[in-house]
Structure 1
Amino acid sequence: MQMRGPPEPHGKLQEKGALHQFQPGMFVIFVSHQWLSSAHPDPHGEQMKVLRETLGGVIDGTVEVTEDIASRPDEKRLSPGTRQQIADGFLFLDWFAIPQITARMPGVNEEATKTDAALAVQSIPAYVELCNLFLALVPQLPHKDSAQHVNYATWMSRGWCRAELWCRLLSSKSDTSVIVVYSATDAEFMFPLDWQNRSIVDGDFTIEADRAAVVRLGEAAVEGKIRHLQEKGPLSDYRFWAALCPNLLRRQRKWRHLDEFLRHFQFANLREAVEDDTGMNAVMCAVFSGDAQTLRLLAESRANMNHALEGMSSLGYFDTQTALMAAAKSRQEAAVLATLLELRADVNARARTGLHVLFFCRTPEHVKTLMEHRAEMPRDILSGAASFACPDTVQALISYRCDPGRASPVSASGNASPLHAVALLSRGNRRAVETAKLLLAHRADVNLPYVPPRALTWKIRTARLRTAVFGYSNCNMMTRLYADFPGISPLGVATLVGHEQLIQLFLEFGAESFANDAGREPEDLAQSSHHHNLLPMLATFAT
């Protein structure tokens, strides 16, 4: 907490006596981050400044760590006891804790680097397992070599970062939560689905030779998790990870005979499998396995193809969402969705939130399959694709006359436009700008003010009370969002989350710097969210 400027490496900190050997009973915080140059992780100390300020705010209680924006159940909190443990804790960060040999560059001291890399890979699971808290330090900052922005989305794309993350999430510890630090005042627990479709196998590596070793690490983490759950339970979690394993490891799916399927997922017999109505029942095992053949066999025995999920929210699949929705969310091949529909899954069923299966589409093939089975197309469908899917999926919906230029009516879900949605969840979406360009090219309204649904009234009032008492700058992102929702523009949302490229795009397409219903303009939102780097851009266009 007393450091200033660029962080010093392992060797210098060791000379100063600042390092400590691990001892049982230590409270350890693992910090995962993306380097800001090839030779030094943080040449100007920018990441470390954010880390210090965040830790200080967490310790004194001025920074809350909330649930992710996508889930929003407001259940997780850091207790006063945990905050005190953090105050007395120790940091594990690669630059501090591991001896540094050379810059990780092809051809530079290659043999020594390979040896060190191999040892580091073998040690990562142990380092992560010993840690009590896992922070992903991902403030948006420019990379000093490429000038490209480094942020949450790019961190999530890095093979080594994925390896550290997998070791945490696939650990046998009871608490495997991950805290994402976007800025000194904005930290939240990671959305479960943010990582499940980002395999180590196709991660980005500076040194291509690292891929094979890191993939082996990922395989060990997944297989270890499955073995632990098989022995210790809970059974539903074992079934989930066992079904998802081929997708996580990018392995070719294999069809199992029914008896093998029942044994693998621990069903006593076919009757038990068919009658099971728990969240992770036989239908869901077949869905997550991408096993269309077994779905047909289960349907022949009258298994429910409209099974509603329950008790799987910690894995990113929320109560009352259907098997068909889960197939889309988990990016199964379109053939799995087609099989469910042929077996009479309801293409127009809705979750209790009012969401429709088209909202969860992740590929153009999903869209085509569902439209061929006469899926309805509510006006808010594009918001789901814009938030979570690729631009090609958005284009597929547009080709079926889903018009981003036509505002959704004010209803139970409000009138949020796809531009609001893409801005709100842009921090985890590397293709957010590309998606926004596509929407704007098809006449999406860049100046549409958001009218929230009545169901959010009490949350908005509570948030405004908190901001009035504590001040906007001292409130977390979720509080500021709720307080600023009414009347906010897509530009305002992009400013709140600090997405510079989206702000630039919206301004180029004629976004106006108007105030929301609370009288706060984008410049005010940037100021209160500590996105001071955005103020010159907003001021230039405002004048």
Structure 2
Amino acid sequence: MSLHSDLVMQFLKGNRKLVRAEREQCELWCSQLSNHSRLPMIAVHSCDHAEFVMPKDWVFAPADEGEFTEEEDRLAIKDIVRIALQARVAFLDKHQEEPGLCRFLKAICAKNFGQASSWTLDSFLSYFGFPSLPTAVKMKDMGALHCAAVLDEPSLMRPLLEAKASVGAKCKSILSMDILSFVPLILAIQLNRLAAAQTLVMLRADPNSTCPEGLPTLGICRSAEAVDFLLQHRADANLRVAPHKVSPLAIVCARASPVEVVARLLERGANVNDSHGGHSKSPLQCTTLFSKTTPRVSLAHAQLLLDARADVNQPGCTTGLFRMLEMGSRLANCCGMDGPLLRYLAESSSTPLGFAALLGNRPLASLLLSAKADPDIPNSRGHSPRQMASAEIRPLFDEPLAFEGDPEDLVVGESF
């Protein structure tokens, strides 16, 4: 780590007032903002099960948010994260590394800890290190319009558009921050910068725009207000774009978005069972697939979907490229190759219960069984949930149907 990050970690160890969860979340952020954060994060679920932690599992969980035993602890942790963030920006600036990440972190730092509504065009260009306005609007690696979106500064957007910045320009991916090749509107929606989003839509940004991976803007929402905003401007609640053809509702479930987002999409007419073609995964299947690292959120999502009459026994049915991947993975399994991704692809025609069994998710399997999921429906490979289940889960199939989880895990109003 850098000297600043070392001091941060020493401060944490010396602050015994922080409870364990608060300390761990702060340490996680400081670790990811260190200058040696190349090692992946791994979540250990049991003695024989571990998973890589994805950016969505930590980027959207700020260290200073949530419940604290003492309010002064929140302020202390916020200051710690500020130090780590500034140290990371200084390191990237000094060594001229990852300019897109550097500009993104500068914008986060300014938004959360610095200037507020005091930008001029000259100060903006200087702060982000753009040599000139023409260069800034043409930059592909987190350009000027993307930076203005992160700052949530509408006043900067019109002069940038007048200088020929494009609302359809895509930035380069920054996977460590869960940023794909986003247009400014998608980036604004992901960060819940609704003032910037409003201005971009007024300047003719498309509410139904997608990134090259096929994710529609509505599927990136992190708040119910963002959902309402996009639908008000005629975003399609059931947009599915080739080749993946995954609906906004399925995407927010896969990304473990706040529970309020799933609830609002269902209220506004999202199809709870839409999964024909392409990747062919229903919202309930997507919830199950990505449920281990965010179990409470996934259980709440699943309950909402079941309450909205999601088909608990709906199988997957891949087409096109994804059908080829499924068949290729089966062939690889037959040749002795194995691994989590290969197993998922080979069994991708399974029901939600099949995926819960395959992933060893006992609480979610219990919930699905209580909703009358059938443990004996085979996928197109002939494997049923009962056959794919681990020794830990298999006994559930022969027990009375009753949800084993904590009722508090299903509180729909909670947002994470």
**Residue 477 in structure 1 maps to residue 340 in structure 2:** yes
- TM-score with structure 1 setting the length: 0.64
The answer (yes or no) to whether the contact 1:117–1:210 under 8 Å persists in 2 is no
1:457 to 323, 343, 361: 323
The answer (yes or no) to whether the contact 1:522–1:538 under 8 Å persists in 2 is no
Q: Which residue in the other structure is 1:536 paired with?
A: 395
The answer (yes or no) to whether the contact 1:201–1:250 under 8 Å persists in 2 is no
Q: Which residue in the other structure is 2:285 paired with?
A: 420
Q: Please report how far the alpha carbon of residue 344 of structure 1 lies from its aligned counterpart in structure 2 after TM superposition.
A: 1.1
Q: Which residue in the other structure is 1:266 paired with?
A: 129
> Which has more radius of gyration?
1
Q: Please report how far the alpha carbon of residue 334 of structure 1 lies from its aligned counterpart in structure 2 after TM superposition.
A: 2.2
User: How do 1:498-517 and structure 2 match up within 5 A?
Assistant: 498-513=360-375, 514-517=377-380
**Structure 1, residues 406-444: CA drift from partner, whole Å, max 9, x if none?**
4332x2332x11101111112233322122111111111
1:384 to 244, 251, 254: 251
Q: Please report how far the alpha carbon of residue 272 of structure 1 lies from its aligned counterpart in structure 2 after TM superposition.
A: 2.1
Q: Against the structure 1 CA distance between its residues 183 and 255, is the aligned structure 2 distance closer, same or farther, given a 3 Å change threshold?
A: farther
User: How do 1:92-131 and structure 2 match up within 5 A?
Assistant: 120-121=13-14
The answer (yes or no) to whether the contact 1:358–1:370 under 8 Å persists in 2 is yes
Q: Please report how far the alpha carbon of residue 322 of structure 1 lies from its aligned counterpart in structure 2 after TM superposition.
A: 2.0
User: How do 1:42-441 and structure 2 match up within 5 A?
Assistant: 120-121=13-14, 158-173=21-36, 175-184=38-47, 186-203=49-66, 211-234=74-97, 235-245=99-109, 253-276=116-139, 278-319=140-181, 321-329=182-190, 331-377=191-237, 378=239, 380-387=247-254, 388-404=256-272, 406-409=273-276, 411-414=277-280, 416-429=281-294, 430-441=296-307
**Structure 1, residues 220-275: CA drift from partner, whole Å, max 9, x if none?**
2111101111111222221011112256x577854422211111101123222223
Distance 1:539 1:255 in 2: 64
Distance 1:505 1:453 in 2: 29
- TM-score with structure 2 setting the length: 0.82
Q: Against the structure 1 CA distance between its residues 255 and 509, is the aligned structure 2 distance closer, same or farther, given a 3 Å change threshold?
A: farther
Q: Against the structure 1 CA distance between its residues 505 and 229, is the aligned structure 2 distance closer, same or farther, given a 3 Å change threshold?
A: same
Q: Please report how far the alpha carbon of residue 289 of structure 1 lies from its aligned counterpart in structure 2 after TM superposition.
A: 1.8
Amino acid at match of 2:31: R
What is the number of residues matched between the two proteins? 380
- 3-state secondary structure, aligned to 2:215: coil
- 3-state secondary structure, aligned to 2:81: helix
Distance 1:400 1:215 in 2: 36
Q: Please report how far the alpha carbon of residue 469 of structure 1 lies from its aligned counterpart in structure 2 after TM superposition.
A: 4.1
What is the CA RMSD across the aligned residues, in angstroms?
A: 2.9
For structure 1, the 5+ residue unaligned runs are 1-115, 124-154
Amino acid at match of 1:163: C
Q: Against the structure 1 CA distance between its residues 184 and 399, is the aligned structure 2 distance closer, same or farther, given a 3 Å change threshold?
A: same
Distance 1:398 1:252 in 2: 38
Distance 1:212 1:401 in 2: 40
Which shifted more, 459-468 or 424-433? 459-468
